Structure 1
C-alpha cells in the first residue's frame, strides 16, 4: 500500500507539472492562444489608468465636457474589450482541457488494466479511484486557471511596475518595498503547503476506500451489526482529513494576510507621499491618479498569488499521485530469455519438442514466490512438476493454504512464475502474447465476479468471438443457469454491482458459463461448484462432463463429487506435487489424500 510522502524536499513542483506536457501538447495551440489573449486582456486593463491620467490632466482640468465624454467612451470600450478577451480565453480552454482530462483518465484506466495482479493486491481501490477522479479534476483546474494566470499576473505585475516607475520612480520604489518579504513568504508557503496538500489527497483516498468497502460489504456490516464501528472508523478518518484541510486553510490565510497587508500599506504610503508631491507642485494630479489606479489594478494579480500557488501545489501533488500509478511497470506481454546459453536453448528446444509430442498442459520445475515476499523465504510453490495430457481433466487437491489457487493463477499469467516454465501444447506461456494465451485458456474463480451489465454481457465476456444466442444458451445450459430466463428481462437483465442481486450459487453458475462459452482448449476451474446445492451440483457435473471431454482441464477440488469429474488427481502439499493418480488409487495409497477426502470421500469410494 502506498504511504503518504511527507518529505517533499526532493520534489520540484515545476518538474512534476512538466510531466503533463505530453497530454497538453495536442491542444497546445489553443492553450497558448488563450494565454496570449489573457495577457492582452490584462494589458488592456492597464491602459485604463493612462486614460484616467489624460482625462484628469486634460479635459477635467480644462473643464472640457466633450473631452470628458470622449474619455468615458474610451474607458467603456476598454472595459468591453477586456471582458470580451477574458471571455474568449475561457472559450478557448474549456473544450481542449476537458479533452486533456478525459485522455489522462483513459490512460490511467488502460494502465490499471495492464498492471499485474500483485499491484492491485497491494493498492487500496479507494486510492486508485481518488486519483482517477478528484486528482484529475485538480489537474484540469490548474491547466484552466492557475497555469494561465500565473503567467498573466506575472506579466501584468511587470508591466504595471514599469508603468508606475515611468510615472514617478520614487513612488514606484515605495510600491516595490514589500516585494522581497512577499517573495520569501511565498517560498516558505510553497514548501509547507506541498506537504499538507499531499497529506490531504492521500487521506481523501483512504476515506474513499472506507466508503467503497462499506458499500460493497453492506451485507456483512448489517449482518454483524457493525454499522457503529464502521461509522466510527469513517468519522475518525473524516476528522483527520478535516484537520488537514484546516491546516491548509491556516497556511493560506497566513500567506494571504502577508500578501494583502504589505502591498496595501505600500499603496497607503504612496498615496500620502504622492499627495504631498502634488501639493508641492512636483507631481500632477493626473499622474497621481494614474499611479494609484495602476497600483489598485495590480491588487488582484498580487492578492491572487497565494491561492494560485496553493492550487498549483495541489495540482503538483495530484500529478505526482497520478504518475505514481502510471510509472508502475505493466505486465510484459511476452518474456524473452535473452541470457540463455546455447546449451540451454538446445535443452529447452528438445524439451519443447517432447512437450509438443505429448501436448496438453505441463508444469516443469515451477517455482513461485510473491513479489513482495522476502527473497530468502520459502516459496509458495517449489519445483512443481505436473503434466495434464490433451483432453484430460486433472483435479488439484490440497489442504487450505497449500497453493492451489496460486498454481491455477499461473496458467493465464495472472502472476509470473519465479522459475521454471508452464507450457500449453509445448509452447511456453511466457512466449505468447496475453491475448493469444487467454484466447486458449478460460478461468472460473471460486469467488465469482460479475459486472454491472446484463446477464448475457457478463457471460459473453468469456469469448472474443462474435458469439451468438446459440452459444450463450449452450453455456447457460452447461452451467445449469436456466434461472436467467425467469428474470424480468431474461438474459438482458442487469445484474447490478458485483452481481449481488443474485444468490452465490447463481453467480457461480454464470461465472462457469462465462468460462465455457468460448469453447476453450484449456480450462482452469477453481472449485467452481462450491456454492451449489446437491441437486444443482449433480446436474452441472453431468453437463460439465460433456465439456471436459473436449478440453484439457485443471480443476481445484475440495469435495469428492468434484474430484470424480476428473480423470486423475494431483495432491499439492507443502508447495509441491506429492502424488498423482486416480481418486481410488490415492484414496487407498496416500494417507494425506485419504484424510482430505475423509467421510463422504470413503463412502463414495465404497460405493
Structure 2
C-alpha cells in the first residue's frame, strides 16, 4: 500500500525479535504476571520431563522384581506428577489471561488516540478498512500471541534443550542421533521464515482491502441499488476474496511443508534410536528400563518439537501484525501543539490569511499551489461569503483556520496570532466548522448536536437551553417527532435521516459550539427554498457578533454576507460587497450567473439573465477572454 511503503521498508529491515521488541512499552506493566505465567509453564514442562525418570525407576525396580506394592506407589508418584503438571498449566492461564487483555486494551486505546491525533492528510491516504483491520484483527492476534504463542515458544524451546541434555543421561549415541535428526528442522525453519513472512504480510494487507470493500459497499448500498450495480460490487468483492483465499492457501502449503518435516524427522529419530537402542542392549551398554525411559522422554519432547512449526508461524503472524500496527504509531503528526503556545483568552474574531499557500503532499513539483498566495482579512463580527468556480480552492481554504491542514507557505492568524502558535484544542474552541457533507455519529441527537461543548453537562438545564437554541436556528425541530425525541440514536453516519435533516443537525452542531469564528462550507445545499430562508433568517441573528466565512454555492447564501471574496485559480482576485463586485468584476458576474443557472436547474425556476453580462465582460479591463465567452454563452442561453 503506497501510504505505508516507507514504514513497511523500515519494518522489514528489522529482525523478527527486534520487530516484536517494540511491544515492550505495552507489555511492561504486565511483565510480572507474564513472567509468572512463563515460570508456571516451564514448571509444568519440567514436571513432565521428570515422569520418564520416575518410570525408569519403577521398571528397573518394582516391575523387574515383581513388587506389586512398590508398583502402586510408583503409579501414585506418576499421578501426583501429572496432577502437578495440570496445576501448573492452570496457573499459567490464570497468570496470563487478565494482563493479556489489558495489553490489548492499552494498544487499542493508544492506537485510537493516535488515529484521532493524526492529521486529515494521513486519513486521506489510508483506506478505512486497513485501519479497521489493524485496530481489530492485528491487535487481537498480538494479544493471543503474547498470552499463548510467546510463552509456549520460549518454554518449548527450553524444554527441548533440557530434554535433549537429559537424553544423554542414558547413552551418548542415542542423544546424538536425536540431535542430528533435528538439524534439518532448524534449516527448514530458517527457509520457512523467509517465505512465510512475505505471505502473511500479503494476507493481512489483503484482509484490510477486503474490509474496505465491505465498508464501502455497506455505506454505498443506496447507490449500488439505485444503479443496479450490486452484481458488479459482488464480482469485485469475490475477486478480492479469491485473491485472499489463494494467499491463505499458499500460507497453508508453507505451514504444511514445515509440518511434514516436523512429523517426519521425529519418526526417523525414533526409528534410528530404536535400532541403536536394541543394539546397545545386546552389547550390554544400557538396560531395558533405560531404553524405555529414553523413549518416554523422547515422547514427552515430541509435542514441543512438533509445536515449534505452529508457534514459529504464529510468531511471524504476530511480527507482521506488529509491523502493521506500528506503521500507524510511526506516522509523523504534523498538526501538533507548539512548544511555547500562545493563548487568546478573549478572542475578538479577526481571521486573516497572509500570503497563504497550500499544496497537497502528492502534488508534483511542476504543479502550482492549489492556494497560491491568499491575502484576506475578515473583520471581527463580519460575515464574508467565499465564491468561485469549481476547483478554485474554496473548500481547501476552509480547512486552514482549524488546522485540518496547515499552510505550506504564509500563515493564517486569529486576532493577529498565527493559528500554529495556539494549542490545537484551544484553537478549535474558537473556530468551528460545518461541512457540506454532513457526518453524524451513532449517538443520540443531543450528543451529536452538543459534540463541540465538552465543558458542558449536556443533560443539564444549560445543556438543554443550548441544544434547543441551536436546533431552532438550524430549523431542526423535526427531531422532536423522532421516536425518542432528542434522545433518539440516529444510526450510523445519520443515514436514517434525509440529506437536509443531516445538514441541519450539522449546522446546529456548529452553532452550539458557540465559536468566535464560524466556517461554513455550503451548509445549506441540501435544504429546500423555504427551509433555507428560515435558516438564513435565524443565522443573521447568530452571525451578528460572530465572524463567519461562508462558502457560497447558491446566490441566496451570498445574501447573508457583509462582503464577498472572489477566489480564482487559488487567489483572491476581488473583495467587496455583492453590488460592488457586480459592477467591477466580470469574473464575479460569470460566477454568480453560473450559481443562478445551477440554482434554477435545481429548483426548476426561470433563471434571471443579466443582458449586460456580455457587454460588461467585454469592456471591463479585468475581464479574461474566458469570462467574455462564458458571459456571451449565458446571454445566448
State the TM-score, normalizing by the size of structure 2.
Answer: 0.90
Aligned residue among 263, 272, 275 for 1:272: 275
Q: Given that residues 8 and 191 in structure 1 are in contact (C-alpha distance below 8 angstroms), is that contact kept between their aligned partners in structure 2?
A: no
> Post-superposition shift, 1:440?
0.4
Query: Which aligned runs of 4 or more in structure 1 are off by greater than 3 angstroms?
Result: 1-9, 334-338, 356-359, 599-606
* Mapped partners of 1:534, 1:125: distance in 2: 36
What is the aligned partner in structure 1 of residue 373 from structure 2? 383
What is the aligned partner in structure 1 of residue 621 from structure 2? none
> Post-superposition shift, 1:335?
4.4
Worse overlay, 364-373 or 311-320: 364-373
SS in 2 for 1:598: helix
CA distance 1:130–1:358, change in 2 (3 Å): closer
* Mapped partners of 1:332, 1:174: distance in 2: 62
Q: Deviations over 1:185-208 (max 9, x none)?
A: 110001111010000000000000
SS in 2 for 1:166: coil
What is the aligned partner in structure 2 of residue 584 from structure 1? 579
What is the aligned partner in structure 1 of residue 564 from structure 2? 569
Alignment of 1:592-603 (within 5 A): 592-598=587-593, 600=596, 603=608
In the alignment, structure 2 segments of 5+ residues that lack a partner are 457-461, 598-606, 612-637
Is it true that 1:25 corresponds to 2:28 in the alignment? yes
Q: Given that residues 6 and 199 in structure 1 are in contact (C-alpha distance below 8 angstroms), is that contact kept between their aligned partners in structure 2?
A: no
What is the aligned partner in structure 2 of residue 531 from structure 1? 526
Worse overlay, 437-446 or 596-605: 596-605
What is the aligned partner in structure 2 of residue 352 from structure 1? none
Alignment of 1:209-228 (within 5 A): 209-228=212-231
Q: Given that residues 462 and 516 in structure 1 are in contact (C-alpha distance below 8 angstroms), is that contact kept between their aligned partners in structure 2?
A: no
* Mapped partners of 2:338, 2:85: distance in 1: 60
* Mapped partners of 1:501, 1:387: distance in 2: 40
Aligned residue among 368, 371, 385 for 2:358: 368
> Post-superposition shift, 1:359?
6.2
What is the aligned partner in structure 2 of residue 505 from structure 1? 500
* Mapped partners of 1:425, 1:463: distance in 2: 22
Is it true that 1:132 corresponds to 2:155 in the alignment? no
Q: Deviations over 1:250-279 (max 9, x none)?
A: 111111111210121111111122123224
Is it true that 1:442 corresponds to 2:432 in the alignment? yes
Q: Given that residues 340 and 421 in structure 2 are in contact (C-alpha distance below 8 angstroms), is that contact kept between their aligned partners in structure 1?
A: no
* Mapped partners of 2:49, 2:280: distance in 1: 23
> Post-superposition shift, 1:597?
1.1
What is the aligned partner in structure 1 of residue 513 from structure 2? 518
What is the aligned partner in structure 1 of residue 329 from structure 2? 326
* Mapped partners of 1:357, 1:152: distance in 2: 63
Aligned residue among 123, 126, 132 for 1:123: 126
SS in 2 for 1:59: helix
Is it true that 1:51 corresponds to 2:41 in the alignment? no
What is the aligned partner in structure 2 of residue 415 from structure 1? 405
* Mapped partners of 1:455, 1:152: distance in 2: 54
> Post-superposition shift, 1:337?
10
> Post-superposition shift, 1:499?
0.1
Aligned residue among 535, 538, 541 for 1:543: 538
Aligned residue among 190, 195, 199 for 2:198: 195
Q: Deviations over 1:94-130 (max 9, x none)?
A: 0000000110010000000000100000000000000
* Mapped partners of 2:433, 2:472: distance in 1: 18
What is the aligned partner in structure 2 of residue 476 from structure 1? 471
Q: Given that residues 160 and 294 in structure 1 are in contact (C-alpha distance below 8 angstroms), is that contact kept between their aligned partners in structure 2?
A: yes
Alignment of 1:257-336 (within 5 A): 257-335=260-338
Q: Deviations over 1:338-370 (max 9, x none)?
A: 9xxxxxxxxxx9xxxxxx999611111101111
What is the aligned partner in structure 2 of residue 111 from structure 1? 114
Worse overlay, 269-278 or 36-45: 269-278
* Mapped partners of 1:605, 1:443: distance in 2: 34
* Mapped partners of 1:448, 1:8: distance in 2: 38
Q: Given that residues 525 and 554 in structure 1 are in contact (C-alpha distance below 8 angstroms), is that contact kept between their aligned partners in structure 2?
A: yes
RMSD of the alignment, in Å? 2.2
> Post-superposition shift, 1:12?
1.0
What is the aligned partner in structure 1 of residue 182 from structure 2? 179
* Mapped partners of 1:121, 1:203: distance in 2: 19
What is the aligned partner in structure 1 of residue 627 from structure 2? none
Q: Given that residues 338 and 423 in structure 2 are in contact (C-alpha distance below 8 angstroms), is that contact kept between their aligned partners in structure 1?
A: no
In the alignment, structure 1 segments of 5+ residues that lack a partner are 339-348, 350-355
> Post-superposition shift, 1:518?
2.4
SS in 1 for 2:103: helix
State the TM-score, normalizing by the size of structure 1.
Answer: 0.94
CA distance 1:365–1:337, change in 2 (3 Å): farther
CA distance 1:9–1:557, change in 2 (3 Å): closer
Q: Deviations over 1:553-586 (max 9, x none)?
A: 0000011110000000000001000000111111
> Post-superposition shift, 1:535?
0.3
Q: Given that residues 8 and 195 in structure 1 are in contact (C-alpha distance below 8 angstroms), is that contact kept between their aligned partners in structure 2?
A: no
> Post-superposition shift, 1:39?
0.7
> Post-superposition shift, 1:155?
1.2
CA distance 1:15–1:404, change in 2 (3 Å): same
* Mapped partners of 1:462, 1:38: distance in 2: 51
* Mapped partners of 1:366, 1:314: distance in 2: 46
> Post-superposition shift, 1:334?
3.2
Q: Given that residues 6 and 198 in structure 1 are in contact (C-alpha distance below 8 angstroms), is that contact kept between their aligned partners in structure 2?
A: no
CA distance 1:223–1:6, change in 2 (3 Å): farther
Is it true that 1:98 corresponds to 2:93 in the alignment? no
Alignment of 1:394-405 (within 5 A): 394-405=384-395
> Post-superposition shift, 1:478?
0.4
CA distance 1:315–1:232, change in 2 (3 Å): same
What is the aligned partner in structure 2 of residue 346 from structure 1? none
* Mapped partners of 1:373, 1:274: distance in 2: 74
> Post-superposition shift, 1:166?
1.3
Q: Given that residues 6 and 195 in structure 1 are in contact (C-alpha distance below 8 angstroms), is that contact kept between their aligned partners in structure 2?
A: no
* Mapped partners of 1:332, 1:513: distance in 2: 27
Q: Given that residues 499 and 507 in structure 1 are in contact (C-alpha distance below 8 angstroms), is that contact kept between their aligned partners in structure 2?
A: yes
Aligned residue among 145, 153, 157 for 1:154: 157
> Post-superposition shift, 1:179?
2.1
